[in-house]
Structure formats: structure tokens, C-alpha cells
Amino acid sequence: MKMKQLASVIMAAGKGTRMKDPTKAKVMYEVLGKPMIHYVLDVAFALHSHRVVVITGYQREAVMSYIKQSHPSAELVVQAEQLGTGHAMMQTRDALKNYEGDIVVLSGDVPLLTVQSMQQLIDHQRTTNASATILTAEYSDPTGYGRIVRNIDGSVKKIVEQKDATDAERQIREINSGIYVFDREKLFEGLSNINSNNAQKEYYLTDVFEYFWKHQWKVAALKAEHPEEIQGVNTLEQLAEVQSVLLQRQDAST
């Protein structure tokens, strides 16, 4: 297996409107006494990332201040306007322009993610010689999530959003987690070729996959062994659920 360098990028610019507190960035909501992003940063550094870049935006002063204390070697970039996940990744271009290797893309509101699952994802990217690899999960109720449509060889053919899915595609229970590994050079080439011609006028990171497929660059996927790991937090109810799982993990390890 060819050993490449690894950089981790953490998306942490979001507002978290449904969390009901406009004074706080979503990633700063605490789970067992630590902001959610603390757990994601721990994973990024435990993967021995050569670079860890955090994309900040909403209430960024508080986010930056915390990270400078908790993980001082993390690099901070700003997404001044929240124009989508693709636009967020574009803000890392200068920081990573001289970096060669793979880029892990993480979400700052997924505190249950484990180092083991991410290492498996990185290994899968490298053993399959893929240009990008998606962490997926199988949900009994996948309503609302983008579905993973695979080719016969197991590689990813397309990602279909709920609203665009056919009846057959809606039966698929494997969903996109929004956690990825990319070849750096191909990622930024893809980002240079996406647009915001959609209802939200935003740049979506998932649009780079269309560019990959157009150029016949392989997109792989690996299903998480424990689906709860990819649980993002968008509401206070989900925050409570995540905290419950972390408590169970702590009890199991003692």
C-alpha cells in the first residue's frame, strides 16, 4: 500500500438554526462537558494527520478561541459567507496548495465518529486506488438522506437525494454520511468546476462527484460497522441522543 500524507479538514462553519441559540455555533454545543468539535479534532489528530484545518464561520471568534486552547496545532480558515459545503472546502485551497496526499473531510457536529472507522475508510481509499471514498451507513429508515447507488463492482455510480430519487432508489437503505477521503489534486480540480446553479444558490461538495464520474475517476464507498457513528447533530434532541451513546461507551470501557 502506497503511503501518502494525510490532511484532515473539519467543517465547522454552520449556524445550527434548529439548536435555538443564535449566540452559539453548532459545533460548540457540549457533549459530556466538551464541545462537539473537540471529539472530531481528537479523531483528526489520532489519525496522524500531517495537517488539520478547521473551517470556521458562524460565531467564529468563540470557535477559534476554543480550538487555539484545546488543539493549538490546528490551522484555522474562515468561510465568511455560508454558501454551501463546496464553498467551505474552497476556503482551504490556499492553506493546502503545497500539500500532496489525501484529504479527509469531517463534520464538526459528528462527535460519535471513531478513529477505527476513519482508518478503515482511509485504507479502503488506498487499497482500491480510488480518487474519493465515501463513508456510508445503512439505516432502517433512510428518509431524508442521499442514497448511495453502486455499480456491480461495488464502486459508487451516483448519489441520489431523497427528492430526486425514483421509487426503487428510495428503497435503498445505504446513505451518504458527508464524511469523505479525497485525492487532494482531484478534489480541487473538481471544486474548480462546480457551480451554484440550484435553488439554494450554494456550492455543494457532492457536486464534485459528478465531475469525477465524468472523468471516470473511481469513487469508492465503505459502510460504517456502527451506523450511529455518523449521526450528526441538528437538534437538541439529537444532542441528547449522542450524549447517551457516549455515556454508554464510557460505561462499556470501564
Eight-state DSSP code of residue 59: B
Which position among 18, 93, 170, 249 bears the catalytic label? 18
Examine the residue annotation and report whether 60 is marked as an active-site residue of this protein: no
User: What is the per-residue pLDDT across 14-56, written as a single tens digit (0 to 9) for each?
Assistant: 988 888 888 999 999 999 999 999 999 999 999 999 999 999 9
Give the C-alpha separation, 232 to 218, whole Å.
27
pLDDT digits (tens, 9 = 90+) for 177-222: 999 999 999 999 999 999 988 888 999 999 999 999 999 999 999 9
CA 252 to chain centre: 27
Give whole-number Cα distances, 182 to 101, 124, 125, 138, 218, in Å: 9, 12, 8, 22, 11
Q: pLDDT tens digit string along 47-73?
A: 999 999 999 999 999 999 999 999 999
CA-based end-to-end distance of the chain = 36
Ordered by where they begin, the domains of the chain are 6-136+177-253 (3.90.550.10)
Q: According to the model, what pLDDT value does residue 16 have?
A: 86
Q: Which three cell numbers stand for residue 212?
A: 469525477
